[in-house]
Structure 1
């Protein structure tokens, strides 16, 4: 499957609106491990992992969540397609329902402001030919390369309270000026920080609003969310947001994500900066 983060860009410089769509739709991130991994016969088909269990997808085994793993099951199901779909079609079919279950599992709607993503797994061609139709909805924490990282511990309820900040998206790229969002560690040099309060602008399966409509919504709501995150107005922090494009919309990414963007790279979070200057 492919993790969709195709986006247009826009920014507000503390009251001065400056909006400009990306010159062309940015390329989706690298593909993550999918149902193409080779698994023992019927391991997933007849005895699928259960929600809450963790997986080492490289070795196609269930492991204790306290051990290193790159996926955690949030829901199971079956594919109903009469013929094996190609990867793009399968992603469009599976990501939206998996995202819905993921929001429930994480305990909050703000996953798009974090590095936690829905990662559906489905049979490869050989398994499909044997009649396997299993679907595993899993959650992964992606790194700067957009691939699932090895981690320990369960993610159930991970977005409750202030736990979101453990998984918060920080970007080394400019959220307002660059088409591709490049993730980076929040305690390393970065420019952007996704703030809590993703803005839903539609439902999966519905028509995508025009950029003008989404930009108006973002320009109305993002400044307040960023101000709350900062604890005030800083002249060195601007308000930015990322919009879904048609490809990401089809895969269930129907949210606008607001960002606090620093005037220069910082190595600490901007949260609670208030009206102060950027840290040196």
Structure 2
């Protein structure tokens, strides 16, 4: 079984259509408390399927793996130039150690154990590489690739953390060019906008220049993966004031057609390092282009 190209997603896609009826009338008044809704992630969030890897009789070629700052494409772990089409950009190199990397076992550890052990490091590496700890509010996501069963049998214990640009189905898009410091340079270029309302369903990501009804405006840290996950009430209490403030920072204080909402991780994703609440500005009617009104850098917090 191949173990390349795996990632746990805190946000993914749910197909939905925009409903335009009734959008000609402007709403009045600020968002009421009953419009500020928080919803949990599903109990079993989507995970990207494995990408088949081309078999090779040349064992040496199987162990050539892209390093930090290099890119890989599809199911092959070998490096490609980031200026060329690729799917993942590597942010951190690592080797399994201790019991996890035992040379006495012929098969890699199970996926849940690998993610629980390594993915929090990949999350941190993604934040540092992209230049923003708020990347959950973008279309860029952390990625984890590790040695498959054939490599493992020959003694290889490598893993690589990376980042990928995700499409509306949560799949890694083929792209060209590096995303190192991309969010520090121009967060709006990658901001997560959605055609579904996060208060009702998982976001359906689209570029913000396309019609959308919600924009991610920032994140609220809720703890550490080693902590007890907050209860729904604790998540809700932490998010309420903070997300409202972030929406105001994003759109200004004069909009009457915007309400804050937020989403938080389930327990499994919490243990994998998804410890942020993601805040959204929801619009009464679909809009195109970012609604941001403020800091020209566009970087949320």
Give distance in 1, aligned partners of 2:127 and 2:199. Answer: 26
The equivalent of 2:268 in structure 1 is: 247
1:140 aligns with 2:164: yes
User: 2:263 & 2:88 partners in 1: Cα distance?
Assistant: 26
**TM-score, normalising length: structure 2:** 0.80
Aligned to 1:10: none
Structure 1 residue 92, shift from structure 2 partner: 2.2
Q: CA shift at 1:139, angstroms?
A: 0.8
Match of 2:199 in 1: 176
Q: Equivalents in 2 of 1:6, 1:166: separation in Å? A: 18
Instruction: Give the Cα–Cα distance (whole angstroms) in 2 for the partners of residues 251 and 119 of structure 1.
Output: 12
**1:66 aligns to what?**
83
CA contact (8 A) 1:38 1:124 kept: no
Pick one of 155, 178, 193 that aligns with 2:215.
Answer: 193
CA-CA distance at 1:121 after TM superposition: 0.5
Choose the corresponding residue for 1:260, options 250, 274, 281: 281
Which residue of 2 is the match for residue 37 of structure 1? 53
Is 2:7–2:142's contact at 8 Å kept on the other side of the alignment?
Answer: no
Q: State how far apart, in whole Å, the 1-side matches of 2:228 and 2:157 are.
A: 29
Tell me if structure 1 keeps the 8 A contact 2:261–2:282.
yes
Q: Structure 2: which 5+ residue stretches go unaligned?
A: 1-5, 13-29, 295-301
Cα distance in 2 between the residues matched to 1:186 and 1:39: 39
1:6 positional shift: 6.2
- Whether the 8 Å CA contact 1:6–1:247 is kept in 2: the answer is no
Question: Aligned residue for 1:208?
Answer: 229
1:227-273 Cα shifts (integer Å, max 9, x gaps): 11002232211111111111211110000111000112222222229
- 2:7 is equivalent to residue 2 of structure 1: yes
Residue 26 (structure 2) aligns with? none
TM-fit CA distance, 1:127? 1.4
**TM-align CA RMSD:** 2.4
Q: Deviations over 1:9-44 (max 9, x none)?
A: xxxx7242456665882542341556x635753446
**Inter-partner Cα distance in structure 2 for 1:190 and 1:250:** 31
Task: Report the Cα distance in structure 2 between the residues aligned to 1:137 and 1:149, rounded to whole angstroms.
Answer: 17
Aligned with residue 122 of structure 2, among 95, 98, 107: 98
Contact 2:39 2:262 in 1 (8 A): no
Query: Kindly tell me: are residues 23 and 71 of structure 1, through their superposed partners in 2, closer, same or farther at Cα, counting changes over 3 Å?
Result: closer
Greater alpha carbon shift after TM alignment, 240-249 vs 181-190: 181-190
